[in-house]
Amino acid sequence: MLNLNKQVKIKQLPVGIPKENDFYIEENKIPDLQEGFFLAKSQILSLDPYVRAVMSGRHFYNAPQSGSVMRSRGVAKIIDSRHPDYNKDDLVVMETGMQEYCVSNGDDAYFADTGDAPLSTALGVLGMPGLTSYAALLGPASIKKDDVVLVSAASGAVGSMVSQIAKIKGGKTIGIAGSDEKCSWCLENARFDFCINRKKDNLDEVLSEIAPNGVDIFFDNTGGEIQHTVLTKHIADYSRIIISGLMTQYNVSEAPPGPNLGNIVKMKATIYGFVVYDFEHMREKFINDVKGWYADGLINFKEDITSGIETAPSQFIKLMNGNNFGKTLVDVTN
């Protein structure tokens, strides 16, 4: 009755930026459903930069091996259940993996709840990227009115939510993005007050001009040169620095040096190694707040979506090259 389960598997752990032939597609039988589990059909898969860090063993999740199904979070619809809390047709957000069908005992799942917003936002503004932005700003970064907030990878799923939430909280926001097109979107849709094109503008000079007293919050999604310039020259007194992503180094085999920490002491700044999984206790309030803001027209988002499980490897590679524009997704409903 059921189809086979099409899965994206790892052929070999990539060196540098992943290539198409680091992955392969395999069709396997859908496992029998055990008592206490449910079976779900993937609807939308989320491609996330941190997965590359997992593949290098630089994340607290264990590194996958050759033959592992690629890690992916997704929205899935339950098609059969032997679990008391989950019923047929329930929509859940879970660790689907890059595959069409998945089973779970519910430990890694929660019900998708997106209010007036489309289902895909359960993986974006109302999902992990949204919670990352929300929990970091309201948690360790303690955003307050008039804070100057700088964010790298500004047009991404996390970056654009950082700006929109920061603006709601009365901050001023500066984005750093990789093209004029991305910058325009940031200014027009994600409420950024300013956007720096890292490929064209001189970050150091522009920041000196537009944030002469430094930034109160730096939300770093990239690491590398941007992190170096900001941390050594452009942080304000008592600056809060959220290291959330390190996109520039996910694809290199040896981690490059970091910024000298002298300026951190001089400015009495704090650097938080931020991992969203520690902020599950904020999820309920986050969902309610963002659903409300969305209904009020305060939340925009952009999606970079393709169709079909076979497109997942190339979407992931595009994300790794920074050529995505918006939250990178794969529609696997059909």
Member of 165, 271, 317, 329 binding a second copy (CB under 8 A) = 271
Q: How many Cα atoms are found within 13 Å in the side-chain-facing hemisphere of 270?
A: 8
Q: Does 262 bind a second copy (CB under 8 A)?
A: yes
Nearer to a second copy, 76 or 226 (CB): 226
Task: Choose the stretch contacting a second copy; rule: CB under 8 A; options: 17-25, 34-42, 54-62, 175-183.
Answer: 54-62
Member of 2, 4, 15, 261 binding a second copy (CB under 8 A) = 261
Q: Does 219 bind a second copy (CB under 8 A)?
A: no
Terminus-to-terminus CA distance in the chain, angstroms? 16
Amino acid identity at 177: A
Member of 223, 313, 322, 326 binding a second copy (CB under 8 A) = 223
Q: Residue 6: which of 47, 52, 42, 33 has the closest Cα?
A: 42
The burial class, CB within 10 Å (0-12 / 13-18 / 19+), for 188 is exposed
Supply the minimum distance, in Å, between the C-beta of residue 272 and a second copy: 5
Q: Does 230 bind a second copy (CB under 8 A)?
A: no
**Size (the chain), residues:** 334
Nearest-angstrom CA–CA distance, 94 and 86: 13
The tokens describing 274, both together, are: 């931020």
Supply the minimum distance, in Å, between the C-beta of residue 220 and a second copy: 8
Nearest-angstrom CA–CA distance, 97 and 46: 9
Supply the minimum distance, in Å, between the C-beta of residue 271 and a second copy: 4
Residue 146 neighbours by CB under 8 Å, 6+ apart = 170, 171, 172
Nearer to a second copy, 118 or 259 (CB): 259
CB atoms within 10 A of CB 55: 22
Q: Does 264 bind a second copy (CB under 8 A)?
A: yes
Q: Does 258 bind a second copy (CB under 8 A)?
A: yes
Q: Residue 309: which of 290, 333, 285, 284 has the closest Cα?
A: 333
Nearer to a second copy, 59 or 169 (CB): 59
Nearest-angstrom CA–CA distance, 325 and 308: 19
- Report the run of H or E that residue 205 belongs to, with start and end: helix 203-210
CA angle 42, 161, 324 (to 5 degrees): 60
Member of 259, 298, 305, 314 binding a second copy (CB under 8 A) = 259
Nearest-angstrom CA–CA distance, 105 and 107: 6
Nearer to a second copy, 153 or 332 (CB): 153
Q: Does 278 bind a second copy (CB under 8 A)?
A: yes
Member of 65, 107, 212, 265 binding a second copy (CB under 8 A) = 265
Task: Choose the stretch contacting a second copy; rule: CB under 8 A; options: 184-192, 239-247, 294-302, 326-334.
Answer: 239-247
Chain centroid offset of residue 215 CA:
22
Supply the minimum distance, in Å, between the C-beta of residue 245 and a second copy: 8
Nearer to a second copy, 58 or 283 (CB): 58
- 3-class SS string, 84-133: CCCCCCCEEEECCCCECEEEECCCCCEECCCCCCCHHHHHCCCCHHHHHH
Q: Does 273 bind a second copy (CB under 8 A)?
A: yes
Q: Does 213 bind a second copy (CB under 8 A)?
A: no
Supply the minimum distance, in Å, between the C-beta of residue 215 and a second copy: 15
Member of 29, 35, 116, 257 binding a second copy (CB under 8 A) = 257
Q: Does 64 bind a second copy (CB under 8 A)?
A: no
Size of the site for a second copy (CB under 8 A): 34
Q: Does 55 bind a second copy (CB under 8 A)?
A: no
Site residues (vs a second copy, CB under 8 A) = 53, 58-60, 140, 223, 227, 232, 243-244, 246, 249, 255-275, 278
